[in-house]
Structure 1
Amino acid sequence: MDKRPRRLRYNPQIRTLVRETSLEVSDLIYPLFIKEGKGQKEEIHSLKGIYRWTLESLEEEINEIVALGIEYVLLFGIPYHKDNKGSEAYNKEGIVQQAIRKIKSLAPHLYVITDVCMCEYTSHGHCGILDEKGYVHNEKSLYYLGQIAVSHAEAGADMIAPSDMMDGRVGYMRHELDEHGFNHIPIMSYSAKYASSFYGPFREAAGSVPAFGDRKTYQMDMANTNEALREVALDIEEGADIVMVKPALSYLDIIRRIKDTYNMPLAAYQVSGEYAMLKMAVANGLLNEEAIYEATLSIKRAGADMIITYFAKDLARKLKG
């Protein structure tokens, strides 16, 4: 018998008919940076085309997101005031809490997810409370992270996404949310968050560069895969509704392994460094824009059910034709 796989590649119609993986606008979650202050949007130098938005300029962005059919956003706050307890993170009138209410007034059906962490809010830039030796104290950090989660839910967030990587934080936040009447609010946990070099542009965008040291005592070693499975198992046991791998492109094997092991909704974060590399390559004519679609499709093909990506608007335009 004549074996000819090319029969199914003969023209666009047959290629579409047998295509195994699809990328839809409904798969995309768009990160938004909201800063305190007045005035217009401010482009982030290291993330061309991505902006810090004030509350008064935010309507422009929300209108565009809705027009493109993007249904999900992930909020990051950039406060004026920082201290050693990250108190603006759980302030009921903090920048994220205000942004949630603003977005819900502009687009009630837009699904608002909030990043729960402390690094943007602490004076030292770490993701929790420091002890006297400068080590992030796990249990003390949980208390404040729980307050942040509840304050976001009270402001109207649809989902919270803890990214701090403290031990036991999913269970602690689940308990706090339930105790305050928010048992309907899901948790999307940054379960396998690696200590990666690909976060550089984000740290500039969010003003969250550590004042000293690094985050390797709580974020994962880039060399480990079995550890990722253990982290995911713990988060599922503690009540996570969605688990996440971050970054995405250099960790496609982790995405696949988690998807094969656990019957759970799986998110992947195509992070700032991945965006910056591809954006720069396209801008300099080294790649065409199809490379953006190809890279993002690879994340979906690896097993991600949803993708957090700064390319969400670009991809939405492409997918809408």
Structure 2
Amino acid sequence: AGADIVGPAAMIPGSVRAVRDALDGAGHRDVAIMPHLIFESVLYQGYRATMGAAPRSGARAFQINPRRPEMAVHIALEMVQEGADMILTEPALHTVDTLVHLKDKLPVPVVPFSVSGEYMRLTDLKANGERDVSGLMEAYTVLKRAGADRIITYGAVDVARRLRAS
């Protein structure tokens, strides 16, 4: 058992270096680190409500203000200097413009994460119980055009079925 990639989500300065040091110290030099760049978004509300994880104060500690994309570039550059092997951005669709800038400035892959709120808004449940993923297919095409190296999604199985069928 083990992990190929770990994804620290705290966005606390120094956390990537601490994870890298801990992995290396335990003999796991081959485990990649993919820290999260998390933008404030209403797309997290459903997940937070389901998990009982809504912040009581309304504060969104360690999340990037969507009106400050330059902060994402700054933070990502620091993460790479600390040892990040790739960068995850979320929510995927609300970071397309930033994805383009990150691809231009970073020497590592950029991986958008399509969060559950995006999945729910971009799919429709058909009468037979299957999900119509046409909206996801459009969105992921945009992400690939913007430079996404990979896409992480709750709809992976549905999208794979659709791609196989086409």
Q: Same fold (TM over 0.5)?
A: yes
Q: Letter of the aligned partner of 2:65 in structure 1?
A: D
Q: Is the 8 A contact 1:201 1:276 kept in 2?
A: no
Amino acid across the alignment from 1:163: A
- Residue of structure 2 in register with 1:114 after alignment: none
Please state whether the residue corresponding to 1:221 is helix, strand or coil: coil
Q: How many Å apart are 1:304 and its aligned residue?
A: 0.8
Q: Does 1:182 align with 2:33?
A: no
Report deviation, 1:293: 0.7
Q: Structure 2: give runs of 5+ residues left out of the alignment.
A: none
Please state whether the residue corresponding to 2:151 is helix, strand or coil: strand
Report what 2:46 is aligned to. 201
For the residues of structure 2 that align with 1:215 and 1:267, how far apart are their CA atoms?
A: 26
Deviation >4 Å, runs of 4+? none
Instruction: Give the Cα separation in 2 of the matches to 1:216 and 1:232.
Output: 18
1:60-92 superposed Cα distances (whole Å, 9 cap, x missing partner): xxxxxxxxxxxxxxxxxxxxxxxxxxxxxxxxx
CA-based RMSD of the aligned residues comes to 1.9
The residue correspondences of 1:259-298 to structure 2 (distance < 5 A) are: 259-279=103-123, 282-283=124-125, 289-298=133-142
Distance 1:217 1:223 in 2: 16
Aligned partner of 2:152 in structure 1 is 308
Aligned partner of 1:227 in structure 2 is 71
Q: 1:251 aligned to 2:99?
A: no
1:240 corresponds, among 74, 81, 84, to 84
Say which SS state the counterpart of residue 32 (structure 2) adopts. coil
Residue pair 2:133, 2:159 contacting (<8 A) in 1 also: no
The match for 1:214 is 58
Cα distance in 2 for residues equivalent to 1:297 and 1:220: 25
Letter in 2 for 1:220: I
The alpha carbon displacement at 1:218 in A equals 1.3
Structure 1 unaligned residues grouped into runs of 5+: 1-100, 102-155
Whether 1:161 and 2:7 are equivalent positions in the alignment is: yes
Q: CA deviation at 1:222?
A: 1.3
Q: Equivalent residues in 2 for 1:57-206 (5 A)?
A: 101=1, 156-190=2-36, 192-206=37-51
Identity, % of aligned positions: 34
Q: Which amino acid aligns with 1:202?
A: Y
Task: Kindly state the Cα deviation for residue 273 of structure 1 after the two structures are TM-superposed.
Answer: 1.1
Instruction: Give me the TM-score of the superposition, normalised by structure 2.
Output: 0.89
C-alpha separation in 2, matches of 1:238 and 1:293? 34
Length, aligned pairs only? 161
- Structure 1-normalised TM-score? 0.47
Q: Which has the higher helix share?
A: 2
More strand by share: 1
Q: How far apart, CA to CA, are the structure 2 residues paired with 1:215 and 1:311? A: 29
| CA pair 289-177 structure 1, distance change in 2 beyond 3 A | closer
> What is the DSSP-based 3-state SS (H/G/I as helix, E as strand, rest coil) of the residue aligned with 1:240?
coil
Larger-Rg structure: 1
